[in-house]
Chains A and B, each alone.
Chain A
């Protein structure tokens, strides 16, 4: 493990009481931060300090602190989840920063993700897109066929798995200049498009999910690719291409 070193930092943090409040940046100092600490541990220390001063701590979403739940959403120095590729904020460690640095910390900004408080935003639009078709319509009663009676080629299974690893964090939306949710939606559509179980309702799925995605106020995809760069799980743009193909063929052949 690298030697522990105490960093002194200036933090510029977005504070916003609620959705109606205008919000503004506040400046705080933190001292003696171990380089082995995670970014969220640094935020904990800031919050302990604020509580000791009788102030309200900064609200931010977090839970697993292992890079898998998709909760921790912040913009750090103008990048979703901060510097470094394929990581979430909880996986970002303070060894990436230097003593004396100033760090800017802001919430996701997108029309479809209204701010709830400080760094916390409402991502429930993703859940509504999922409810519109992000599933395979099978009963949960357990009377399904034996699992090995649906063989799946390893390459397909692996690709489906890669698409399925999306953690629903919203970094793709936050880093897209149009606030498009294409990467997120295409990941789910691709997972099912690659598996035999998902074929039967494939057309309906892609059409419904895209419809709700538009209604929720996500923007259009203009193929800039910023989403892929900031995605902590390396979800690839290929998925968007696959979804476009699915969507196109659904619109051509659909009898709706």
Chain B
């Protein structure tokens, strides 16, 4: 049994990272040239890591399943990235960002990691601006900020609603520079299908060339997993279609422990599902909550009339609207954190006040009319217009709102064919982000020596709930500023190792297991498609392991997922061959892994007898539906060791010690 050593450095929290950096071993530039590092994934985490490791002098081999690193899922992030710059002078500081993140994560993250994240956050902005990332600016030419759910300062940097795109393109351009120099070997359209462990250390991967189906062996002195999150275990989520758990799951099966699989974030502001032909859900950035007010009708009969198409939201008088977030949480109002906002929406819809046109009525309104009128009036005052009519003021206000959120409004209109300037948006929570992931120590190393996990693929920084705009921050912090230090300390032992051969028994074995699986899929002439199973898994996950969970449902889910898995291995059919591009084959492998992860996910949720952050057990809640945490018994990360079937996984606990922030009930009232 492996023991968990989180390797948190000694000393006061504010000095840990500095002291640590001062004491680690360094690899001199000449030696770096003889060391190879594999980076799986080229999103913000993997892309920034690959660029920086190459910059430092290592030979980097980077892999992604898309046709270019520029298309990684990070590209879709909308709202922004946090940094404790305090440019607005509203009282922000490293400590406050640290505090908000720990509290926002419901005290289930690791203090030392979060503090380091807050410390390096300011560097990220400097770095990105130097690379030419066009962040929003104010009229004085300085950087602009906005605020995001769960905090009371404006610390979020943004580039309209396309922040992830701009950050990723920055990162991709840094990679391009190293690719041009020959320091990064880029393997586009390649999927990692296994990790190779030699003498207990990660020494390479098996990858499949997705264009011609060739199985390739790649060796290195260290392997970095930056493969993103696994929210697609729910089938419907805001994640890109190809996002998957496979890389993380493969290292888990080879000895890397997997932590807190059940911590999933449900995002409150997504476009509701339109019907069963749906393939994915679309997020509306939560920055919209800065100006949009969330409500449902106060009277059930109004909600029913809306659902039946007999009434429009515009017919509901102000006093007949229930601005339930403002009512329940007066100090944060519409800006409560995501888990709180999501549950509150579900509660109203379950109680019959939802306004969705689907059978369950699943939608609430996100209304911009007061913001439009407020901004319109401000504009009129600034421009010195007097005696404007209501419609003139509205037009001025719409312009202001368009400047702030234009592309989001446009996206909404394209998908729903409704005009959100005139009629309130309909929104509903959807699966968005996974806080769980591969367990890592302070060095970001997994329980397999030489195997690292960064970005959304690891578990450490967000606890049970992620505050807005902090995933991008973590991805870039890990890749640009943390891993490049910590990995050096490990690689210092490898300066004399020389190139790692790929003709060893360990590579043979890993390659064989990959090939056997592919052969199985192509030869198993079953009767059902891969998506058939994925959709079934997704339904079980959403209904029983989703926004609210209870013991009975979780036990049923575990049994049902097992059944689906068994049937999958009997009945799945994968057309086509292995010598050319075969997207169905790619999906089959990913869904096979989701079917295992799904069960572990449900087990983890069952074991955690408390409600915290994105994890809500109905048995542990107050009369008013607020989550009840159990710090005495659950101030730990649940860390699972692979032993074959998910039901055999062994649970380890990493105690989480709060020395700097007092554990308090998290309240946004």
Contact = CB atoms under 8 A, between A and B. Distances in A.
Contact of A124 (B51, B180, B188): B188
B41 to A, nearest CB: 13
B229 to A, nearest CB: 14
Contacts of A135: 131-132, 173-174, 176-177
A51 interface: yes
A70 B76 CA distance: 11
Interface stretch (B95-103, B408-416, B429-437, B544-552): B408-416
Interface string A130-172: 1111111111111011111011111001101100110110000
Nearest to B573: A51
Interface stretch (A36-44, A97-105, A236-244, A245-253): A36-44
A164 B68 contact: no
B667 interface: no
Given A36-B274, A148-B87, A152-B137, A71 B67 contact: yes
A116 B581 contact: yes
A3 B463 CA distance: 42
Contact of A145 (B130, B160, B186, B240): B130
A208 B66 CA distance: 26
Interface stretch (A74-82, A174-182, A189-197, A214-222): A189-197
Nearest to A60: B583
Interface string B143-186: 10000000000000001101001100100111011011000001
B580 A18 contact: yes
A68 B165 contact: yes
Interface in A32-50: 33-34, 36-38, 40-41, 44-45, 48, 50
B516 interface: no
Interface residues of A, number: 82
Interface residues of B, number: 83
A140 B415 contact: no
Mostly, the A contact residues are: loop
A87 interface: yes
A108 to B, nearest CB: 12
Interface in B63-84: 66-71, 73, 75-76
B179 A127 contact: yes
B665 interface: no
Interface stretch (B119-127, B247-255, B489-497, B503-511): B119-127
B68 to A, nearest CB: 5
A67 B282 CA distance: 11
Nearest to A212: B180
Given A41-B279, A127-B68, A136 B173 contact: yes
B381 interface: no
A220 B601 CA distance: 54
A36 B276 CA distance: 11
A137 B85 CA distance: 24
Given A54-B575, A56-B575, A69-B66, A64 B75 contact: yes
B278 A41 contact: yes
Contact of B129 (A117, A132, A197): A197
A123 to B, nearest CB: 6
A219 to B, nearest CB: 21
Contacts of A123: 67-68
B67 A130 contact: no
B91 interface: no
B279 A44 contact: yes
Contact of B274 (A34, A51, A63): A34
Given A66-B282, A137-B177, A148-B143, A34 B414 contact: no
A120 B581 contact: yes
A256 interface: no
A129 B211 CA distance: 21
A4 interface: yes
A164 B241 CA distance: 24
A83 to B, nearest CB: 13
Contact of B583 (A18, A57, A141): A57
B575 A141 contact: no
A11 interface: no
18 contacts: A4-B275, A36-B274, A41-B277, A51-B584, A64-B71, A64-B73, A67-B411, A68-B76, A91-B414, A116-B581, A122-B211, A124-B68, A131-B176, A136-B132, A136-B173, A140-B51, A151-B140, A151-B142
